[in-house]
Amino acid sequence: MGIREFPSGAPRGKSIAVGMRRSPDVSPRRLSDISPQLRQLKYLVVDEAIKEDLKWSRSVEDLTSGPVGLTSIEERILRITGYYGYQPWAASCKREERPRDSPGPAEAQAPAGVEAGGRASRRCWTCSRAQLKKIFWGVAVVLCVCSSWAGSTQLAKLTFRKFDAPFTLTWFATNWNFLFFPLYYVGHVCKSTEKQSVKQRYRECCRFFGDNGLTLKVFFTKAAPFGVLWTLTNYLYLHAIKKINTTDVSVLFCCNKAFVFLLSWIVLRDRFMGVRIVAAILAIAGIVMMTYADGFHSHSVIGIALVVASASMSALYKVLFKLLLGSAKFGEAALFLSILGVFNILFITCIPIILYFTKVEYWSSFDDIPWGNLCGFSVLLLTFNIVLNFGIAVTYPTLMSLGIVLSVPVNAVIDHYTSQIIFNGVRVIAIIIIGLGFLLLLLPEEWDVWLIKLLTRLKVRKKEEPAEGAADLSSGPQSKNRRARPSFAR
């Protein structure tokens, strides 16, 4: 990057503007290396007496003239360098073509200023309305996730008092996954402008599995393993509810976020983040403290081991999905979950039958089955999965994850009034540690950059306040000096 030499006697600002007009293809250059100096130039005050002495100078004339009044020094530097696509030639052409005997700045630019202010306020109002709408939907999604997850957990606990068959309950609820794609297609018909038939939409979503679509080989290699992991995750979770209280189960399942990070770091080579390592350590420490809270009884240890295994299966499901299939659109995700339901009906149905005849999960008659509890649990679990998979369309993913954490205090309140749970100090500390680790895992990857920017802005604001106060105090003596100093202008 060379330095242009200015010819003697030629005004610098004018020569630069002419040079920039002759070469409009000049690529903009960044000023990140001198950004601190630019911020300091904002507070540079040009003495009126110096302006009076040098009023024929082009530099001072630029400061006192122009379509917008006083032009800041920072704008002049941006005009020289072309910072971030700023086009100085366009601004300078407009300034030179404007006649000298034009109306004053207030008269000439009042309509334009009003119009620009109206547009800016309209944009800000639209932006704020969009953000408020997204936050409103986020609150609704959080409440839906929290209520459906806590409700399904409590309803499963209530069901086991009459129907002690966790695997059969898992199989029955997973069959409802078949409804994902039909429900998605109903939403597609209602919302989309270009409506497609079921067959067309199905073929388009099948491209997610490859060029050949959903073949028998793809079904057994890319869908069947996830069907097994889905079943294991839900079965281990429900079996743990039989052993320990729902508060411990829900808080321990939050550790799956830490397991997802560890597996992604090892398998997917994701970015290493120290704060997430701390969160994983907190999750492990919370698991140990939760085990210690009940005195290492065999019943409690087995229940905690089942929840941790369920969280591990959930993490493995998410990491393998990202590794083998990548990211899916809404229609593709709905089709995939419906395929899991089909796999469950075709290949998992034999297992509840075997467990029934071996009397591992046995019930005397079908009339004794609490069908209301089974259907209620299935509907709540289906609602939870629908909101968790498609809620990103209306709100932020972080807000959806908060719903899982908020289900822990909901379950704790319900357990306090319906069971004999003892909230000793160790259990409370374990719950807080695991919850804190979960919240740390929700931080974005560039959270440290955002924090540094926030602290920098706060420092700049603190510096601006004393600078403005000093400028107000120095305005009095400067006015007296200007009166006493004679003018040399002719």
Q: Which has the higher per-residue pLDDT, 195 or 15?
A: 195
* Average pLDDT over the chain, rounded to an integer: 75
Asked whether the beta carbons of 419 and 249 are under 8 A apart, the reply is no
d(CA 154, CA 373): 10
Q: Which has the higher per-residue pLDDT, 165 or 328?
A: 165
pLDDT of the residue at 52: 52
Q: Which has the higher per-residue pLDDT, 191 or 374?
A: 374
Say which residue the tokens 């808080």 belong to: 251
d(CA 46, CA 468): 15
pLDDT of residue 164 exceeding 60 = yes
Give residue 257's Cα distance to chain centre.
Answer: 15
Buried b / exposed e across 285-320, counting CB within 10 Å, b at 16+? ebbebbbebbeeeeebeebbbbbbbbbbbbbbbbbb
Nearest alpha carbon to residue 257 among 283, 239, 232: 283
d(CA 433, CA 281): 10
Mean pLDDT of 326-340: 90
| Whole-structure pTM value | 0.67
Say which residue the tokens 């390592």 belong to: 277
pLDDT of the residue at 53: 52
**pLDDT per residue as tens digits for the range 341-397:** 999 999 999 999 999 999 898 887 888 889 999 999 999 999 999 998 888 777 777
d(CA 313, CA 235): 11
**pLDDT per residue as tens digits for the range 414-466:** 988 888 777 888 888 988 998 888 888 888 777 767 778 777 888 777 776 66
pLDDT of the residue at 77: 53
The tokens describing 189, both together, are: 């018909």
Percent over 70 (pLDDT), the chain: 68
pLDDT of residue 336 exceeding 60 = yes
Q: Which has the higher per-residue pLDDT, 197 or 49?
A: 197
**pLDDT per residue as tens digits for the range 290-331:** 888 777 677 788 999 999 999 999 999 999 999 988 888 889
Nearest alpha carbon to residue 188 among 399, 390, 400: 390
pLDDT of the residue at 312: 93
Choose the weakest-confidence range: 53-57, 88-92, 195-199, 246-250.
88-92
Helix ranges restricted to H, 160-245:
166-174, 180-191, 198-206, 216-218, 224-243
pLDDT of the residue at 230: 96
d(CA 106, CA 97): 19
Mean pLDDT of 153-179: 93
**pLDDT per residue as tens digits for the range 9-34:** 444 443 433 344 444 444 444 445 55
pLDDT of the residue at 38: 54
pLDDT of the residue at 101: 40
Q: Which has the higher per-residue pLDDT, 425 or 241?
A: 241
Mean pLDDT of 69-95: 47
**pLDDT per residue as tens digits for the range 137-146:** 888 888 999 9
Task: Taking the CA atoms of 449, 455, 457 and 463 in sequence, report the sign of the dihedral they define.
Answer: negative
d(CA 153, CA 266): 32
